[in-house]
Structure 1
Amino acid sequence: MGQYVLFFNELNKASVGVAGGKAANLGELYQLPGVQVPPGFCITTAAYHDFAEDSSLLPELLRLLEQVDAASPDILREAGESIRSHLESLAIPAAIEGEIFAAWEKTGSDYAYAVRSSATLEDLPGASFAGQHDTFLNIQGRENILTHVRKCWASLFTDRAILYRRQNGFQHDKVRLSVIVQRMVLPAAAGIMFTADPVTGNRKVVSIDASFGLGESLVAGIVSADLYKVKNNSIIVKQIAQKKLAVYGQENGGTTRIEVPVAEQNKPSLTDESVLKLAAIGKNLEKHFGSPQDIEWCLADNEIYILQSRPITTLYPLPQTDDRKLRFYISLGHAQMMTDPIKPLGISVLRTLAPFGKKGRLAESPFLQEAGGRLYIDITNLLANPLGRRLVPKLLLNVDAAIGRAVMEFTASDQFKSQAATKSWSKTPYMIVGLLTVWGNVIRNIMYRNNPSVVRKLNGFITGKVKENQAGLAEVSGADRIRKIQTILSSLLPAIFRNIAQYLGAALLTYKLIDGFSRKWLGDARELGSISKSPPGNVTSEMGLQLGDIADMVRKYPAVAAYLKTAADDTFFTGLGAVPGGIQVQLAFMEFLARYGMRATGEIDITRDRWREKPTQMVPAILSHIESRPPGQHRLEFSRGKREAAAAAERLAARLRNTKWGFLKAKIMSRFVKVHRALIGVREHPKYFLVQNLDIIKQGILKEGEKLCAVSLLRSPAEVYWLSLSELAGVLETGKIDRGLIYKRQEQFKRYEKLTPPRTMTSEGEIYTGNDRNKTVPQGAFTGSPVSAGVVEGRARVILTLTNAKMNKGDILVTPFTDPGWTPLFPLAAGLVTEVGGLMTHGAVVAREYGIPAVAGVDGASRLIKDGQYIRVDGSQGFVEILQ
């Protein structure tokens, strides 16, 4: 027809611009063989545009809407009502009205119709907008059609649609709405089908909600639905609900609610045959559209009609796999305290860093897979071995307790047992020999070796290796430099394994031994909380102390403190040197950054800004120190921690001497404590070694990025972050780049930022949470893992990024995670609550060093706990209570 109306057979998935997402999908469905879709037509976005253009008032109303604060719901509601009332009062231009009537008569003027919205930003892979606009059912007659078309256009400004656009960053005046006019089917049953389980995420399970009458009863929430789940063409779940009400169409138009006769209320709304047929249709539509679908359907006269199919946007993306084997993945981000998405270069670097399963030094590990901008470790082969099934969950409990429990939950599931096969490790003798060698050295370190020089030895190793790699990178350029980087990355973890693992293993094992033998011989481990305080040689603790020294220096110069509050990264040092006392502080900063400038939050992501690159990241911690602590307090507290650790060790030995065989027990325990104190300081050395090498690698990559900018292939050196290492080498060799790929990845990254990554998942998409359902906690408390003993009460200070960190002495730090970049805040904290982590992760270890109670793995802690609330942290039992 004309520009204002298109029939379904004139539409397809490429018609989003003129018909909106919903109508485009309907057009695609209408033309698929074997899919029944009630006929109809679409009133295009051009019709809405010309209709709205007739209003001289609408542009001003939209301008006022843009200025309304989303935090003022009443004002927002009034603004939306004003626009809707205005649009519903406008006359539809004669040309548009004429095309609508012609299409209506051609489709059948004697029928009732559903009048539904279809926005240009609706039913898309990145934003579904489901339910944001209005639908009107069983509309009959010429004038009623026009009235409800206007109402659909006006529903572009419902409160929920306005808020949704705000949250997703869409401008109100850029969205266009088309209207679907579709012949009504008056069904015996209707509902919603998800071709992937929306609860567990399993892509192999089709989930169907069904009830009597129109699907409106489910959408409105007035009736419980029957639930059917289908997997591999078998019904695996059938839950029949009591359906007291149903919505049916009336003869004269509109809908009505009807009470279902008592004898019918508990009858299935679908036969098994219909369920399986519906599931098969759903999987065919999923295959056609290329992603899991959220499908509206109805059943009339034993015929299944599809009313809509849209992408499911709430499912977390899956790692890519080349086989059909059931695989199990754990989140690297939760283990490394960095759950934000990583840009492609950062992902490529980490996959190259991982040494397992690679075909060569330049390759990326297949056991580290990207999903939703995060990295997941494939531990399927480990779990296929009986020894791996026993050891892996126990080790993971110390990294992130919820991940450890999730692995146990998965290996106990029927799903795993039905597909698991015992896998031999006979093909990896090198790994076994390496593990046995390290284990032998761990035992020797605990039993008899003297360890005082270990920290000095490791510092020398790190310095030498970094200089060697730096020199190697300086000798090459272009694609050769990228290949050299790939070679260096492949060598780093083996170097850590050979040089540091035996000492770190001994430190961690002795902590467990002190805990276990204390409980066995004395019935408690009350000294354990002090044993780890202020250990020697911890590079991260030393960093925090030096930053405290800078804070003490800044407090001597009020002009410097005032400058830091407004300092900018680009002019940080030049501006600092221009204020009284700034030169002295500048020298201290330079010395600090020379040693620690490569550090950052989420620092194993090479694309993150380092402190050297954005020094203002350190300012909040410095100012908090000045405002909350007297001069020198950080050094005094560290010294006091050492004394408390020594006193705790002596108390422990004295208590043991008073037991049977006490002299021998005290001697054994003293050895454990001595080894632990001597070696626990190296806990941060692996990452310290890693980030120094990543820093020189980043500098080398950015130099190549500068060269690409000079020949106009890149707009800024940081655009290299959107390429993998091999892609970057290819650009350097060919002089060609795909700018469309960069743009696509930038847009994809924005979507990934809104996702919440699961701790674990299978290759089918099923998520195992590892929730500890057996833990007994006070009513209303939030549970996690006890990682640093003690109980403390105080004001919660919820901090999401260090950039906005503001803490006072005695606050309880509540945050998604911590890593070495957060260390400067620990001297101020009275307690710690994190969303991820376990007994041996950064925040837990540092909390024990400072002797503050800590609970890790509290899901949603930074959202559930409000800044300023008075809370109690029980680091002995693992829960957090809100007291006020």
Structure 2
Amino acid sequence: MSTYYFDQITKKDNFLGGKGFTLGLMKNAGFPVPDGLILTEMPVSDKEWDEIYSWWKKQSSPKLAIRSSAIGEDSSEQSFAGQNSSYLNIDNETGIKTSIKNCFQSMYKKSSALYREHFLKERSDLVKMNVVLQVMVNPKLSGVFFSVDPRTNEAGWIIEAIEGLGEDLVSGKKTPWHFEEKKVATTKLFNIEELVNTGIAIRNFFGHEIDIEWAIDQDNKLKILQARPITALSGKSEEKRIIEEELKRLKSTYPTNTLWDGGTFAEWNGPPSELTFSIWKEAFSKQHAFSKALKKLGYLGIDEELPNESHSLLERIFNRGYVNISMLAPLYFGPIPYRLELKSTPKLKFDFKKMTLKMFILTPFTMLRMLKVGLRLSTQRQQWLLECAKELTVFSDKSFRVKELDHYQKISDLELHELFQREVTLFYEDHLTWPLVLITLIESTSQSLRSLLKGVLPHDEIDKCLNQWLSIGIHTVTMEMNEDYKKASNDPAKRIHFMQKYGHRGPGELELSHPRWMELSDNAFFKSSADERAMNNSSLKSVESEINELKTYKKQVIEKEWKLLRDMLELREKWKMSLLSPYSHIRYIALEISKRNKIGNEIFWHSFQEILNNDFNLSRAKKRRDTTELSKSVYLPTILELSKLENILTSKDESNIKSFNGMALSPGLVFGEVRVVNSPDNIDVDNWPKNTILVAESTDPGWTGLFLKSKAVIVEKGGVLSHCAIVAREMNLPAVSGIKQCHLRFKDGDKIWVDGNNGRITLA
């Protein structure tokens, strides 16, 4: 064991970890830092422990703060916030010994290991743990000092302060006093000028912008408890630049009344990778899956190149996938003198300015086609549904991939590329066709059912009624998968069968950069406990009996529409189950190509065309990945109107709002503690509380393990017919969507009420 005392630390001791090293440098430079020491290894002998106790007693046996200090922690790149352990107010030898041991062992906690693997990649094994012992301050006041605004990177210091320990400020338990250089900042609480001068001096000492934790002790003396670089400052300025450039591009490329719809891709948790987007984009281009789906329903389809730079209806808006619905109308019926207007939903409105002689001549034919399609949608949906089910049987027989993951290691480069091209082409040309037909039919049937209920129920009761029916009336293959997952989690003997049946699925499964359950093996499973909620297998009351109680002569028609919608939703889940098998093999082949070209996960930041052309450029890939990462904090609604986009991006901060209204997805009322999941790949649920509220931008059925560990779900994206809604209802989890930036607004540890009956979230 090596022991380094704060007053002995110099710049050559940077191997001591960010926290301890920084404290030592500040102590030696004369800043008011409480005394302390750093241990580089776990003490093993009585002599080594006695050395620590002796130092403590020389300090008059004060209460100690004992914290981890890993190399790389509190750096300008990663904060390691909350990943390793801290213990406060330790005041006896037994407590000191236990806390030191726990700090060293915290490096091996699952959450800490996953954090290092995610951020440090191949350098994760090189991280070394040190432990800091520091004299505690008994504070009147505690707080933080930022030398610049960490939200915007704009000049001007910021101070926040609370009474008592600073832990309550970090955890959000107390609302702080807030002071800014930009505003006249005066207070009788403490000497604000002394704090600012000390903070600026520390910034100048280190030569970079800093974030300081400080305290005022019972004698009104300022103490500096920690200092670190403000993380991701460059990211903030880059984020601002990306927003400005993207706004400029959109304004110069599209008419101001352009509308986009992102609902089709609500399951993408954040912006998609380049490979994922390039394949789906192709599906919405000329003569491919979406065009074929339109034609099957009697529409015109896409036979010519679309008038945009991507030649596809699917476009990138701030790196997210949006369908340009402004270009859709002619693809349905041909040239028509209408424009799209956005009210609560997009609607066609007659536009005399669009009328041309050619359009005038073609209008009768267009109207006839509209009538024919409308008639077919009202009379042939059952026939299409049967055909879609037959096609699924054929598809499942010929498309389910049984190859082992190591199959691709045994074939030549040429065969590998041919297989990759075949799988990608089949997916965007054919595999998606019938699922897209089904999505259109579901939307049409849902609207029809809502229209029928308008004359029967009050407007604000329709969604609640439909949610209730969906909750008790649907039984999907996803529900069966969830049941099997739960059994496999608790019984390892059942995992082989689970993987054979569902191994091609996994969390974030529409994104090709995310691993499948087959790859995760035993790590795919989270052991469930006896008190977790049972699946929604039965109900005392059927949907049919509820419909029979409605006071209307339209009961038979309503029941028919309901049964159609139910059958379509259940069939959609079956299609997804089969579709994701060949889709997963696009990932497996890409990984083998990546392995042979030694480019790692950067393969997913190349388009499929670039991969086929062996056009590998790691610099370009990294730039795409970094830009996409910065775009994650940009909020965009499901239906996006270019003319209102700038207002959306510059809308005022709503962080002080205490309650939120969204869309009720699944009924129930739950109080719990938030856990935010931004990426489903590296999640440690071992330490989740029993009343966890899962918060994410979006989810999919592959999040089963996280759903099982949660008591409710909050998402930004997803409607009442979404996969998230179906899974939540089947698992008896209250769920709410439409909460703007919930994955950025809430933080781990927030206590909230989730009202899945009325779509309301309330901060406790």
Question: Fold-level match, TM-score > 0.5?
Answer: yes
Aligned AA (1:742):
L
Q: Retained in 2: the 8 A contact 1:513–1:672? A: no
Answer yes or no: is 1:722 the counterpart of 2:746. Answer: no
Q: How does 1:313-392 map to 2 (within 5 A)?
A: 313=241, 315=243, 318=246, 324-326=253-255, 328=258, 330=260, 332=262, 335-355=265-285, 365-370=311-316, 373-382=319-328, 389-390=340-341
Q: Retained in 2: the 8 A contact 1:818–1:843? A: yes
Q: Distance in 2 between matches of 1:503 and 1:614?
A: 35
Answer yes or no: is 1:873 the counterpart of 2:762. Answer: no
Q: 1:318 to 1:329 in 2, by over 3 A?
A: farther
What are the superposed Cα offsets for residues 729-780 of structure 1, whole Å, 9 maximum, x if unpaired?
A: 222xxxxx55xx313422552353243133167779943539999xxx9x94
Given the alignment, which residue of 381, 385, 390 partners 1:457?
390
Q: What secondary structure sits across from 1:804 in the alignment?
A: coil
Q: How does 1:700-719 map to 2 (within 5 A)?
A: 700-706=589-595, 709=596, 714-716=597-599, 718-719=601-602
What are the superposed Cα offsets for residues 65-120 of structure 1, whole Å, 9 maximum, x if unpaired?
A: 72349xxxxxx68855755979xxxxxxxxxxxxxxxxxxxxxxxxxxxxxxxx9x
Q: What secondary structure sits across from 2:507 in the alignment?
A: coil
- Once structures 1 and 2 are overlaid, which stretch shifts more, 330-339 or 600-609? 330-339
Question: What is the aligned partner in structure 1 of residue 520 from structure 2?
Answer: 614
Q: 1:428 to 1:344 in 2, by over 3 A?
A: farther
Question: What is the aligned partner in structure 1 of residue 675 from structure 2?
Answer: 798
Task: Please state how far the C-alpha of 1:541 moved relative to its aligned partner.
Answer: 1.8
What are the superposed Cα offsets for residues 174-217 of structure 1, whole Å, 9 maximum, x if unpaired?
A: xxxxxxxxxxxxxxxxxxxxxxxx9xxxxxxxxxxxxxxxxxxx
Q: What secondary structure sits across from 1:720 in the alignment?
A: helix
Given the alignment, which residue of 691, 694, 701 partners 1:813?
694
Aligned AA (1:167):
T
Aligned AA (2:207):
L
Q: Retained in 2: the 8 A contact 1:504–1:683? A: no
Q: Distance in 2 between matches of 1:596 and 1:834?
A: 25
Q: 1:499 to 1:651 in 2, by over 3 A?
A: closer
Q: How does 1:279-290 map to 2 (within 5 A)?
A: none
Q: 1:58 to 1:435 in 2, by over 3 A?
A: farther
Aligned AA (1:326):
P
Task: Please state how far the C-alpha of 1:589 moved relative to its aligned partner.
Answer: 1.7
Q: Distance in 1 between matches of 2:365 and 2:523?
A: 43
Answer yes or no: is 1:676 the counterpart of 2:555. Answer: no
Q: Distance in 2 between matches of 1:343 and 1:355?
A: 19
Q: Distance in 1 between matches of 2:364 and 2:585?
A: 33
Question: What is the aligned partner in structure 2 of residue 767 from structure 1?
Answer: 646
Q: What secondary structure sits across from 2:566 in the alignment?
A: helix
Task: Please state how far the C-alpha of 1:702 moved relative to its aligned partner.
Answer: 3.7
Answer yes or no: is 1:66 the counterpart of 2:18. Answer: yes
Q: Retained in 2: the 8 A contact 1:816–1:836? A: yes
Q: Retained in 1: the 8 A contact 2:11–2:25? A: no
Task: Please state how far the C-alpha of 1:604 moved relative to its aligned partner.
Answer: 1.8
Q: How does 1:481-880 map to 2 (within 5 A)?
A: 481-492=419-430, 495-496=433-434, 500-501=438-439, 504-505=442-443, 508-509=446-447, 511-513=449-451, 515-519=453-457, 527-533=465-471, 535=473, 538-552=476-490, 554=491, 582=492, 585=493, 588-616=494-522, 618-620=524-526, 623=527, 625-629=528-532, 634=534, 637-641=535-539, 643-644=540-541, 646=542, 648-653=543-548, 655-656=549-550, 659=551, 662=552, 664-706=553-595, 709=596, 714-716=597-599, 718-731=601-614, 741-755=617-631, 756-759=633-636, 766-769=645-648, 780-788=657-665, 790=667, 792-800=669-677, 801-802=679-680, 803-805=683-685, 811-826=692-707, 829-850=710-731, 852-880=733-761
- Once structures 1 and 2 are overlaid, which stretch shifts more, 477-486 or 668-677? 477-486
Q: 1:335 to 1:84 in 2, by over 3 A?
A: farther
Q: 1:536 to 1:325 in 2, by over 3 A?
A: closer
Q: Retained in 1: the 8 A contact 2:692–2:710? A: yes
Q: Retained in 2: the 8 A contact 1:318–1:765? A: no
What are the superposed Cα offsets for residues 409-444 of structure 1, whole Å, 9 maximum, x if unpaired?
A: xx99xxxx9xx9689999999999999877555423
Task: Please state how far the C-alpha of 1:503 moved relative to its aligned partner.
Answer: 5.2
Aligned AA (1:546):
D
Q: What secondary structure sits across from 2:646 in the alignment?
A: coil
Task: Please state how far the C-alpha of 1:865 moved relative to its aligned partner.
Answer: 3.7
Q: 1:364 to 1:787 in 2, by over 3 A?
A: same
What are the superposed Cα offsets for residues 348-393 of structure 1, whole Å, 9 maximum, x if unpaired?
A: 22222323578789x9644433455433443443599775625x76
- Once structures 1 and 2 are overlaid, which stretch shifts more, 519-528 or 673-682? 519-528
Q: Distance in 2 between matches of 1:549 and 1:430?
A: 58
Q: Distance in 2 between matches of 1:151 and 1:521?
A: 61
Q: Retained in 2: the 8 A contact 1:510–1:673? A: no
Q: Distance in 1 between matches of 2:598 and 2:273?
A: 17
Q: Distance in 1 between matches of 2:363 and 2:397?
A: 30
Aligned AA (1:318):
E
Given the alignment, which residue of 155, 160, 169 partners 1:131?
155
Q: Distance in 2 between matches of 1:359 and 1:343?
A: 27
Q: Retained in 1: the 8 A contact 2:698–2:717? A: yes
Q: What secondary structure sits across from 1:519 in the alignment?
A: coil
Aligned AA (1:618):
A
Q: What secondary structure sits across from 1:640 in the alignment?
A: coil
Aligned AA (2:559):
S
Task: Please state how far the C-alpha of 1:867 moved relative to its aligned partner.
Answer: 4.0
Task: Please state how far the C-alpha of 1:814 moved relative to its aligned partner.
Answer: 2.7
Query: Which of the pair has more CA radius of gyration?
Result: 1
Q: Retained in 2: the 8 A contact 1:722–1:746? A: yes
Q: Distance in 2 between matches of 1:827 and 1:436?
A: 47
Aligned AA (1:796):
E
Aligned AA (1:597):
G
Given the alignment, which residue of 227, 231, 239 partners 1:167?
231
Q: Retained in 2: the 8 A contact 1:128–1:311? A: no
Q: Retained in 2: the 8 A contact 1:796–1:867? A: yes
Q: Distance in 2 between matches of 1:433 and 1:718?
A: 51
Unaligned 5+ runs, structure 2: 1-7, 33-75, 77-150, 159-199, 213-225, 287-301, 331-335
Q: Retained in 1: the 8 A contact 2:658–2:762? A: yes
Q: What secondary structure sits across from 1:315 in the alignment?
A: helix
Q: What secondary structure sits across from 1:608 in the alignment?
A: coil
Question: What is the aligned partner in structure 1 of residue 180 from structure 2?
Answer: none
Aligned AA (1:753):
E
Aligned AA (1:626):
S
Q: Retained in 1: the 8 A contact 2:693–2:712? A: yes
Q: Retained in 2: the 8 A contact 1:534–1:850? A: no
Give the aligned length: 544
Q: Retained in 2: the 8 A contact 1:338–1:602? A: yes
Task: Please state how far the C-alpha of 1:816 moved relative to its aligned partner.
Answer: 2.5
Task: Please state how far the C-alpha of 1:152 moved relative to its aligned partner.
Answer: 8.7
Task: Please state how far the C-alpha of 1:540 moved relative to its aligned partner.
Answer: 1.7
Q: Distance in 2 between matches of 1:331 and 1:870?
A: 33
Q: Distance in 2 between matches of 1:767 and 1:522?
A: 31
TM-score, normalised relative to structure 2 = 0.57
Q: Retained in 2: the 8 A contact 1:531–1:649? A: no
CA RMSD of aligned residues (A): 5.4
Q: Distance in 2 between matches of 1:442 and 1:321?
A: 35
Q: 1:430 to 1:696 in 2, by over 3 A?
A: farther
What are the superposed Cα offsets for residues 321-362 of structure 1, whole Å, 9 maximum, x if unpaired?
A: 79644364647489423243433222322222323578789x
Q: What secondary structure sits across from 1:607 in the alignment?
A: coil
Task: Please state how far the C-alpha of 1:690 moved relative to its aligned partner.
Answer: 3.8
Q: Distance in 1 between matches of 2:284 and 2:366?
A: 14
What are the superposed Cα offsets for residues 818-848 of structure 1, whole Å, 9 maximum, x if unpaired?
A: 1111245546654332122333322233334
Q: What secondary structure sits across from 1:375 in the alignment?
A: strand
